[in-house]
A and B are shown apart, each in its own frame.
Chain A
Amino acid sequence: MKPPIFDFVSPGSLQEALSLLAAGNGEAKLVAGGQSLVPMLNFRLLNPSMLIDVSRLAELRDITEQADFLSIGAATRHHELEMSSVIAKHFPVLSAAMRHVAHLAIRNKGTIGGSLCHGDPAAELPMIIQLLDARLIVQGPDSERTIKAGDFYLGALTPDIAENEILVEVRLPYLASQTGWGFEEFARKSGDFALAGAAALIKADNGRISDARISLMGGDEIPLRATEAEEMLVGKALEPALAEQVCDSVQDLVTPNSDLHASADYRRHLIGTMTGRALDAAWRHATGDIDA
């Protein structure tokens, strides 16, 4: 339970971090909060030649309101997201989700960029960026790429990011005003990885849904958007029969695993239930039944 031998560098700038990463020839790893990486090192699941600590790079730590989107630096810590009044104003669904991310001692160190690049399919942030149609800004040695959240995950724990690239910024496009939201997850114990979870956004006009988004975690190797289910909602009010159809559709979409924590059938059942509750909350927010 002790990590393998590696060298450790704390670069003073993003440019220096990129140079070190390039010089590492795929053997160097970035560390930010280390809340997933260090357990993997302690278990000796990884054997990097060097750790490059990006957690102190001030250029990766800002939350700023741009004209069309909220910009979040990749090394922003979970607890900073949890407490940010700017995030609470624009994306209350994100604030709510952060309270489910592990425990305070983990949230004090873990970062949004670290969680997204680790890419656990049962983690909150990879799912929330699907819901919010985030854009991820990835810096390479010579150029920058913008990746849509929906294209970011190639498989479990596998983001579309090259060995010489660094995720530097997460951009969240603002939502239409009075978009209702819901976030629900089920975990055996508070702070544990959820067995299943769902988040929903609903925009309603005159008692009809004009726009809906549903994202799911724990349902597949990667977090999902339930686009078919979203389309079923448009133009309608969220009546119980419709909610049931939507949950059925979500349950057909997912292919959860069986393991010692829960069977695939139980996880599928939970995803339906979580989707139903998230939709109900989003609908009530959107129609003014509960305060946004």
Chain B
Amino acid sequence: MPDAKRIKLSVNGTTYEELVEPRLLLSDFLRDTLGLTGTHVGCEHGVCGACTILLDGDSVRSCLTFAVQADGRSVETVEGLGTIEELGPLQEKFRKHHALQCGFCTSGMLMTGVDILRKYPLATDDEIREALSGNICRCTGYEHIVRAIREARDERTGEMT
């Protein structure tokens, strides 16, 4: 059995130092080691998008990343976007437009939403749908999620990267 590795990383601005088994998925590290269960685990092979988080600002599948690979890096999860009392701006758009029902896909949708709003013009609904196509939702039919992203796009400030 290989030795556990010591990793040090920032999650939502807090620094954690932990010993992890090399095969531990980042999704399981966030949920089970740190107790941050806002990141959901659906398919565990990169297809459903539920586990999407930001790694050094880029959206990635936490189920296709090992916790050891996050050593020295910065992770953002849905817990970093806002709280139940004080929703973040994109969360507020999702609430306003009823962009969720069961909520299972929502954290992944939000983290994807943050990244696509930074990186793509999203000029049309087709472009928004395309950019969201890596995240599967079984409840909403997507229309309300598109509305939420569309309004966030219209109010977007700052330079796209």
Contact = CB atoms under 8 A, between A and B. Distances in A.
Nearest to B20: A8
Closest 4 CB pairs of A and B: A103-B134, A8-B22, A7-B2, A39-B45
Interface of A: 1-8, 10, 34-35, 38-39, 41-43, 50-51, 53, 55, 79, 102-106, 108-109, 189-191
A41 B24 CA distance: 12
B109 to A, nearest CB: 11
B23 A102 contact: no
A178 B147 CA distance: 41
B25 A2 contact: yes
Contacts of B120: 104
B23 A4 contact: yes
B40 to A, nearest CB: 14
Given A1-B44, A5-B1, A79-B58, A105 B112 contact: yes
B133 interface: yes
Contact of B46 (A5, A38, A104): A38
A8 B65 CA distance: 12
Counting chain B CB atoms within 10 Å of each CB, the highest count among A35, A39, A104, A189 belongs to: A104
Interface string B24-49: 01001000000000000000111001
B36 to A, nearest CB: 18
Contacts of A39: 45-46, 64
A2 B134 contact: no
Contact of B68 (A2, A8, A189, A191): A8
Contacts of B25: 2-3, 42
A216 to B, nearest CB: 24
B65 A105 contact: no
Size class of the B contact interface (CB-based, 8 Å): 35 or more
Contacts of B64: 34-35, 38-39, 106, 109
B115 interface: yes
A3 B63 CA distance: 10
Counting chain B CB atoms within 10 Å of each CB, the highest count among A102, A106, A189 belongs to: A106
B73 to A, nearest CB: 10
A195 B65 CA distance: 27
Contacts of A190: 129-130, 133
Contacts of A108: 55, 58-60, 115
Contact of A103 (B5, B49, B63): B49
B149 interface: no
Contacts of B6: none
B22 A104 contact: no
6 contacts: A5-B23, A7-B2, A7-B3, A8-B5, A38-B45, A39-B46
A1 B22 contact: no
Contact of B134 (A6, A8, A38, A105): A105
